[in-house]
Amino acid sequence: MTAAALDAHVVVARREFTLDAAIRVDAGEVVAVMGPSGAGKSTLLGALAGLVRPTGGRIRLGDAVLDDGTRRGHVAPMHRGVVLLGQDPRLFPHLTALENVAFALHVGGSRGARARADAATWLERVGLGGAGDRRPDRLSGGQQQRVALARALAAAPQALLLDEPLTSLDPETAADIRSVLAEQVRATGSTTVVVTHDAIDAVTLADRLVVVEGGRIVQQGAVRVVLGAPATRFAAAIAGVNRLEGVARGGGWASAAGDVALPAVDGARVDAAVQEGQPLVAVFAPSAVDVRTRVDASADDASAWPARVARLEATLGGVRVVADAHGQLVSAELAVSHAADLGLAPGVAVTLSVDPRAVRLLAA
Ligand SMILES: Nc1ncnc2c1ncn2[C@@H]1O[C@H](COP(=O)(O)OP(=O)(O)OP(=O)(O)O)[C@@H](O)[C@H]1O
């Protein structure tokens, strides 16, 4: 089978939740789906895989209609040309790794020595060349997930659906499998939808990012564009950037109450011509925030914000300081030694200043 374009408008109406999402994935494209818990991501993948019956909409894969929102227009999961790989590898426990992969080839019509040879090649592609004769109970969780990936790809699906495939693995194993996944998805040119809670997956695996909240798509676009200009608080959190809501004031940005502001500067990247007083969002990286413990904000310097440290978080690169400036939570990223020199701790009074050249102002 070759990769096919997925064109879906998925409607699943439940008593207290409705998913209504239109998603298009070009043939061979990789799309990441992110969203808060309960947003409807698994329901979306379940519907694409045929495990959840849509109550409306239409799902097309290539030329085939897999669902048209009616009972009769529903194609059963095994006949959809779609494979879903989740957190749990779900290998057949009584079959060896090789037989697990060969099973997918048998379903596709391949038999005997040919299927075994192809299965062995797939195991090699996921770095498990020597483990073909082992049963799942003799493989680590990460190795089992590699077998599951080999089996999924060996089935040559027209679309591959991945539902948080790395979540149950430790960080090192997840990093390993992430690169195998990226390599193999690219090599096979699979049309892929990957649900993840980790922006690293979106950046390393996907071409586009779709953000789902409350059953609706709230933003979609090239991964870097979405992470660079997040439309919602959730999208800003996954991108690890500050996103402050306010209004346009004097060519710059100010909070609604006017107590924190970013003045207009030459070169500040304003994405939209916004009228004075109109909603405007300021987006900036934690690395653009300077933290001082001298509380020296003078009344005429609206860009130096008096704040109090709310919490400190360890990051890969140092310390993330989350401070409350008049009710706006602002994150700053500091080297560990700098944070220690400043004696930062929850409750400590600080002055924050943001490099205005690093701020993007976006129409809200
Ligand atoms: N089988 C089901 N029957 C009824 N409601 C369900 C069912 N599965 C999920 N839900 C509800 O549908 C909504 C969406 O759930 P879903 O699992 O799709 O969210 P999600 O974005 O995948 O969340 P998470 O990140 O926590 O896995 C939630 O309100 C959930 O409680």
Write the CA distances from 71 to 17, 53, 74, 78, 89, integer angstroms.
Answer: 20, 8, 6, 16, 30
Strand order across the 159-163 sheet: 82-85, 159-163, 191-195, 30-34, 208-213, 216-222
**Which one is predicted more confidently, 116 or 358?**
116
In the chain, which segments carry CATH 3.40.50.300? 6-227
Residue with the smallest CA separation from ligand 1 atom 5 is: 14
- Given the CA of residue 215, which atom of ligand 1 is nearest to it? 14
Residue to mutate (ligand 1; options 23, 34, 42; most atoms within 8 A of CB): 42
- Given the CA of residue 52, which atom of ligand 1 is nearest to it? 1
Best-predicted range by mean pLDDT (36-45, 182-191, 199-208, 303-312): 36-45
Average pLDDT, the chain: 89
| pLDDT for residue 17 is more than 90 | yes
- 215 C-alpha to center of ligand 1: Å? 10
Would you state the torsion angle of the CA atoms of residues 309, 311, 312, 315, taken in this order, to the nearest 10 degrees? Answer: -120
Confidence (pLDDT) at 189: 87
- 221 C-alpha to center of ligand 1: Å? 24
Question: Which CATH class, in words, describes the domain spanning 241-363?
Answer: mainly beta
CB 81 within 8 A of CB 159: yes
Q: Is ipTM strictly over 0.85?
A: yes
**Exposure of 16 by Cβ count < 10 A (0-12 exposed, 13-18 middle, 19+ buried)?**
exposed
For 15-42, the three-class secondary structure string (H helix, E strand, C coil) is CCCEEEEEEEECCCCEEEEECCCCCCHH
Average confidence (pLDDT) over 334-348: 91
What lines the ligand 1 site, CB under 6 Å?
14, 17, 35, 37-43
Structural tokens at position 22: 């239109």
In the chain, which segments carry CATH 2.40.50.100? 241-363
CB 230 within 8 A of CB 219: yes
- 56 C-alpha to center of ligand 1: Å? 17
Residue with the smallest CA separation from ligand 1 atom 26 is: 37
* Neighbouring residues of 43: CB distance < 8 A, sequence distance ≥ 6: 12, 17, 19, 52
Q: Which alpha helices (DSSP H) does the chain contain, by range?
A: 41-49, 97-107, 112-125, 141-154, 171-188, 199-205, 223-228, 233-239, 336-342
- Given the CA of residue 39, which atom of ligand 1 is nearest to it? 21
Residue with the smallest CA separation from ligand 1 atom 31 is: 38
- Given the CA of residue 45, which atom of ligand 1 is nearest to it? 18
Beta strand 6-13 with 261-262: parallel, antiparallel or unpaired?
A: unpaired
CA-wise closest residue to 245 among 223, 220, 262: 262
Q: Given the structure tokens 């082992």, which residue do they identify?
A: 134
Residues 100, 91: Cα–Cα separation, whole Å: 7
Confidence (pLDDT) at 273: 64
Residues 10, 54: Cα–Cα separation, whole Å: 6
pTM of the model: 0.83
Confidence (pLDDT) at 323: 95
Residue with the smallest CA separation from ligand 1 atom 9 is: 43
- 325 C-alpha to center of ligand 1: Å? 35
**How sure is the predictor about 252, in pLDDT bands with cuts at 50, 70 and 90?**
confident
- 16 C-alpha to center of ligand 1: Å? 10
- 181 C-alpha to center of ligand 1: Å? 26
- 300 C-alpha to center of ligand 1: Å? 50
Residue with the smallest CA separation from ligand 1 atom 16 is: 40
Q: What angle do CA 322, 249, 364 make, to 5 degrees?
A: 65
Confidence (pLDDT) at 1: 56
Write the CA distances from 46 to 2, 10, 179, 193, integer angstroms.
Answer: 22, 10, 25, 12
Residues 344, 208: Cα–Cα separation, whole Å: 38
- As a CATH number, domain 6-227 is 3.40.50.300
- 38 C-alpha to center of ligand 1: Å? 5
**Which one is predicted more confidently, 31 or 339?**
31
Residues 222, 31: Cα–Cα separation, whole Å: 9
* DSSP string covering 271-283: -S---TTSEEEEE
Average confidence (pLDDT) over 330-356: 91
* Neighbouring residues of 361: CB distance < 8 A, sequence distance ≥ 6: 248, 252, 253, 262, 268, 269, 270, 271, 274, 280, 281, 282, 283
- 45 C-alpha to center of ligand 1: Å? 11
**Exposure of 245 by Cβ count < 10 A (0-12 exposed, 13-18 middle, 19+ buried)?**
middle
